[in-house]
Chains A and B, each alone.
Chain A
Amino acid sequence: MLETTVTVSNRLGLHARAAAKLVQAVQPLEAQVMLVSGTREVNAKSIMGVMMLAAGLGTPLTVRADGPDENRAITTVTDLFERKFDEGG
């Protein structure tokens, strides 16, 4: 199992569009990918789960991946966050 922390830094936070992007990026992976914010833990492959986090700008999130391609899962997620979901700001 791998774990890392990312910060939501795109302008709108994890709104529907960004949430959809994240879900589509991790869905094909085998690993189970969870996002943890405070006491709430959600499945990153679920659009509802991710939206329920409703994480706003500056919120730190823990990403936890477990499975054969857990390395790829972590880079996929951190990449998206670093690129600010390609939302340009």
Chain B
Amino acid sequence: MRQVLTGTVGARGMTLGRARRIQTTNMRIDTTPLADNEVDAELTRLHDALESVRAELLALRDKLQGSMAREATEFVDAHNMLLSDPDLLRGLDGMIRDEHMRAGAALKAQRDRLVSVFEAMDDPYIRGRSEDIDQVIGRVQAVLTRESSNEERKLAARVGEILVTETVAPGDLASLAGRGLLGVVTVTGSTYSHSAILARNLNLPMLISVGNALTDVRDNDLVLLDAEAGELIVHPAAQDLARYRRWQRDASREGKRLAALANAPTRTLDGVDIRLYANGEQPNDLAMARSHGASGIGLYRSEFLFLQQNGLPSEDEQFSAYRNLVLGMGGLPVTIRTLDLGADKAGNAGLVVANEENPALGVRGIRLSLRNPVIFATQLRAIARAASYGPVRILVPMITQADELEAVHTLIDRCLRDLRNEGEDPPDSIPVGIMIEVPAAALSVRTLLKQADFLALGTNDLAQYVLAADRNNNALGKLYSPMQPALLRLIHSVITAATRAGKQVCLCGEMGGDPLFTPLLLALGLTDFSMHPRQLLTIRDRIAGLDRTRLRHLAPRILRASSREEVEAILRHVAV
């Protein structure tokens, strides 16, 4: 029987799938008082639950990959801060010890008190934070009632499902979206919630404030989530499906036009061939890289392997992952970046590191690897062994000066020699390139080029270091821009130096996959791009419409520009 429920659009879009209900609020709170001899055990129960939710959130944060990590980490961190908040914790012990309340009842009392304060706020953004409190306390309650929240997540992790729930925490949403969730419907929520912000960033249709969703929708019901019109249609009829198809057709017309480009060469309007590579770690990335005609893998972030298992992978484990990567790309070159971690994350990868006040400027990337020669040699051996299955290149992160690169060459030579002595058959040599992300390396690139076979421009970090601006600090939004003339001059000088030396320079920062910057990068002389495989077709299409010769003539003006705005103005003429 067709039924239409209405709600508020949290994130636009439309999707059709099976409903998966998750009821989190049916927790019965035990309000019977504790006996005197139960108090101590109850205190332990509460603190164990808090500790296990802390661990759960940290694990969730570390599992987030790529764009999910970029979008959701901050929100997960906010929940962790709430969990350790003295105002949240204050009084809980007292309620248990003095008033003999059970942990669940104490948490509920605390939740009610805090939420009522927040809900009385004038500012809608601040008011929306009551949802975060609810979600954090809900997690602790779930652990207390042994209704493990992990179980819930697994339940909803099936591909092709639309989640119907009371409320969803941003970290869970990111993790579900990464596993194929189609859309989400919540009973409560505000458009200011972190989950709604996240859903918009992830293009995941979301409908909020759908009052009867949990009573009117059953598991496995076919539902059409129309987060354009703000409707959830249960058991959609023929006219609904027709509307959905129409919407899909419109939305995919653009996608299809691009798909036809998958196997076309990447060539500018004036016939210059450009190479597009993919950044990727997971099987999906590789599949997409191949189907979208990438020239190879331009950036495989090996720390993925380390963080995924929360410990040091053995040589064989690494070898098998790298070999699968090489085999998966069927003869196309694969660029493996050696471990790129700093004090902020290395602990999660099983390395022993000292705490640092400023990990962005500390022992990270190659600095960390050279200080852990055994771990580094293990990785180099695994890469060298995989290199007998197809073309592999080694990319070294965070190079600052030439002696670091010398040390890497020495280690690689030793690994190759050892492997040969052990009867393995690695190639005679493996190309070694460096990331240009430290300004010092960019400024001394001619010296470094004597020992590097290729360069990879890591523009995300380079921009942060050149502009002394954290790109996650929204307050600095305008300062952190790839259009900053100082950054462009540096990028240009690196491209020019590499081209003169006859060596490849590939840009693997986010700007490489953003069509907004394609004309600019062609103007600066770039011919090799590496990007998320999803962007390959868009960029190929963009390049096909650009005249490189004309753009190259703009370079002197761009390099003389005195502001970001001036660069934008110069490019506005070419941007179609």
Contact = CB atoms under 8 A, between A and B. Distances in A.
Interface of A: 10-12, 15-17, 20, 23, 42-43, 45-49, 51-52, 54, 56, 85-89
Contact of B474 (A17, A23, A54): A17
9 contacts: A16-B78, A20-B78, A23-B81, A45-B86, A46-B85, A48-B114, A52-B117, A85-B475, A89-B475
A49 B87 contact: yes
Given A46-B87, A48-B129, A52-B118, 4 more contacts: A46-B88, A51-B129, A86-B473, A89-B475
A23 B114 CA distance: 18
Contacts of A17: 474-475
Interface centre among A11, A15, A46, A89 (most CB of B within 10 A): A46
Interface secondary structure of A, over-half rule: mixed
B82 A48 contact: yes
Contacts of B114: 48
B85 A54 contact: no
Given A16-B78, A20-B81, A88-B479, A54 B88 contact: no
Interface in B115-143: 117-118, 121-123, 125-126, 129, 133
| CB-based closest 9 A-B pairs | A87-B475, A46-B87, A54-B126, A48-B87, A47-B81, A46-B86, A46-B85, A49-B87, A54-B123
Contacts of B88: 46, 48
B229 interface: no
Contacts of B269: none
B476 interface: yes
Interface in B427-449: none
Contacts of A23: 81
Interface in B189-245: none
A11 to B, nearest CB: 8
B118 A47 contact: no
A17 B476 CA distance: 12
Interface of B: 78, 81-82, 85-88, 114, 117-118, 121-123, 125-126, 129, 133, 473-476, 479
A18 to B, nearest CB: 8
A56 B125 CA distance: 12
B74 to A, nearest CB: 9
A67 to B, nearest CB: 14
A51 B237 CA distance: 47
Contact of B126 (A20, A45, A51, A88): A51
Contacts of B86: 43, 45-46
Contacts of A51: 118, 126, 129
Given A15-B125, A52-B117, A43 B476 contact: no
Given A17-B475, A52-B118, A85-B475, A47 B126 contact: no
Contacts of B126: 15, 51-52, 54
A16 B459 CA distance: 28
Nearest to B472: A17
Given A46-B85, A48-B87, A54 B122 contact: yes
A49 B129 CA distance: 12
Interface centre among B86, B473, B479 (most CB of A within 10 A): B86
Interface centre among A51, A86, A87 (most CB of B within 10 A): A51
A48 B86 CA distance: 9
B235 to A, nearest CB: 41
B360 to A, nearest CB: 15
Contacts of B82: 47-48
Nearest to A56: B123
A86 B479 CA distance: 12
Given A20-B78, A88-B479, A47 B122 contact: no
Contacts of A88: 475-476, 479
Nearest to B82: A47
Contacts of A48: 82, 85, 87-88, 114, 129, 133
A54 B475 CA distance: 18
Contacts of B133: 48
Contacts of B118: 51-52
Contacts of A45: 86
A85 B476 CA distance: 11
Contact of B121 (A10, A46, A47, A54): A54
A54 to B, nearest CB: 5
Nearest to A52: B117
A56 B126 CA distance: 12
A20 B473 CA distance: 12
Nearest to B478: A88
Nearest to B129: A51
A52 B88 CA distance: 13
A48 to B, nearest CB: 5
A15 to B, nearest CB: 7
Interface centre among B88, B126, B474, B476 (most CB of A within 10 A): B126
Contact of B475 (A46, A49, A86): A86
